[in-house]
Amino acid sequence: MILEHILTTMWRIRSIRIWCTLIILVTSFSACAGNPTQTTATLSSTADPTSTFTPRPSVRDTPTTSPTPYRTPTPDPVTTHSSPTDTPTTTPDITLTPTQTVLGANGTTYSSNLLYMSDHQLMRWDHVTNFVILISDHVYEYSVNPEGKLVALMRSQNVVANGVEMFELGLLDFDSKQITPIIEGSPLLHSISISPDGEWIAYFPNENGGRLSAIRTDGSGESIELGFCHQTLNTPCAPVSWSPDSRDLLWSDQRGVWHTRLDWENPQLITNNSIEVTDPEGEISQITVSFGSLTWSPTGRYALSVVTPTTSSTQWNVILDTRRMRFIDVPESFQSGTSMKNIIWLNDGTLMASNGLGNAEVILTLWEVVPTQNDLLRFNNNYTIDSDDLPTPIDNSITEWSYIVDWLYQFDERLLGFGVRVLEDNVSPILLNLELQDNYTESINHVPSYTENVLWSPDGQGALIIGTGQELFFSPSNGGMLIDLIPVLGEEAREFYWLPPTRRS
């Protein structure tokens, strides 16, 4: 009787499960036969962009529209020597109103994509479609050539030999969608930098420097030694700066600025880190400085650098002359505190600079670099920004204030982008465009007061706004609302790089 009762109970339980399953199937069928409209979550925007932004304690504290749960994207169709081609997922998890693309010849449209790192994954974001695609995983560093066609990758091979993790230095070709291994079974290499022509990759063996080497990307030869980075502990050596013709390299360390060529046996020290400065009273003193942010002129020979004394927060810009082994100060380039991008090379080799730190008006000065002049620079033109286009303090009691210019960027021969903020007040900076030929200024958008960096999209359709707390926004160039990108790119997004505009299908 006991056995019969147990069997009967088990049969009843089995029957209940079957009926429950049938009910679920019928319910699902009815739901599928109903309205097929898919519900999507709209990406949140910030409040009125003309208002003042209050810094957020954390990006998690910002109220946003609840997005659809983020799915790990499928890799882009990139082929490696060991893995098959993958099919990308092109369905966005969060919808975004498309931005207008750049109209080219014959009605062709162009736009830029954003590369970035997220938890050792190299990702690509399309600001027009809002698609996020995984390019490659296990990536520790990457470097892109100016054309945006080739990417050097330092990737983990997930192999440990004698207790040491093995890595691979590879080359990704966006045209062929293939990754070609250059160096395999190597310890982690640092500060990789691909040459503009894509034929060489330079790197250091250690995070804090070591011997500088370079290797051909076609695998036709062994790596060559180019010099050494003498760096102090806990201070990494920055990637080398390649000249536009891919023949010369510059880098800086605790000794000074070094210059070499691929066919030189030994590098040259352009200047050491102990320099002479003259104070306002005419007294000359010797101070120790560091040279950073080395940027070649588009025409070669000269490079722009930021000079920072070791015992002061003051900074200024200099031009390095690689032929005459000297440097010249850029007029009115002194800054205090955080380094600002308010001096840039223009495409024709001229120099555009703001009128320094804390001025009652905003003036951008165009300088020509003349090799026959002792001070190298010759005045060309001034661009005075209309005060109606500039921000004003929130505090009405402030009657006098000064401006700071930052984030200069040249889109093309006629258009320049930059930002302006008020020095005496925590007011939201404003982004502007300057028509160089007509000397016409146009206001683009207000950005948060805690903005740390602005990365302009080369297609001219907007900018990536990076906050001091790693907040991320996309600012459309049409003055539209700022768009919070944390739900799209993730909180781990870093190391951003805009690709040049490419044709859209």
Label each residue of 71-126 as H, E or C.
Answer: CCCCECCCECCCCCCCCCCCCCCCECCCCCCEECHHHCEEECEEEEEECCEEEEEE
pLDDT at 108: 55
* Phi and psi angles of residue 131, each rounded to the nearest 5 degrees, phi first: -75, 140
Overall number of domains in the chain? 1
pLDDT at 18: 36
Predicted TM-score of the model (pTM)? 0.80
pLDDT at 102: 56
Does any domain span residue 140?
no
Does any domain span residue 314?
yes
C-alpha span between 248 and 49 (Å, rounded): 44
Torsion, Cα of 101, 457, 443, 330 (10° steps):
-150
pLDDT at 138: 96
C-alpha span between 474 and 466 (Å, rounded): 9
C-alpha span between 158 and 178 (Å, rounded): 20
Does any domain span residue 364?
yes
C-alpha span between 295 and 49 (Å, rounded): 33
Paired tokens of 335? 């800054």
Does any domain span residue 326?
yes
Q: Are 201 and 215 in contact (CB under 8 A)?
A: yes
Residues of the chain with pLDDT under 70: 1-108, 233-234, 280, 337-339, 356-358, 505
Q: Are 317 and 329 in contact (CB under 8 A)?
A: yes
What is the layout of strands, in order, in the sheet containing 415-422?
A: 403-410, 415-422, 430-435, 440-446
Q: Are 429 and 449 in contact (CB under 8 A)?
A: yes
Does any domain span residue 353?
yes
Helix, strand, or coil (residue 211)? strand
Does any domain span residue 366?
yes
Segments forming the whole domain that contains residue 348: 278-393+434-439
Does any domain span residue 186?
no
pLDDT at 94: 37
Distance of CA 261 to the CA centre of its chain: 27
> Could you give the count of Cα atoms lying within 13 Å of 372 in the half-sphere of its Cβ?
0
Q: DSSP assignment of 392-456, as one string?
A: --S-TT-----EEEEEEEE-SSSEEEEEEEESSS-PPPEEEEEETTTTEEEEEEE--TTEEEEEE
Does any domain span residue 101?
no
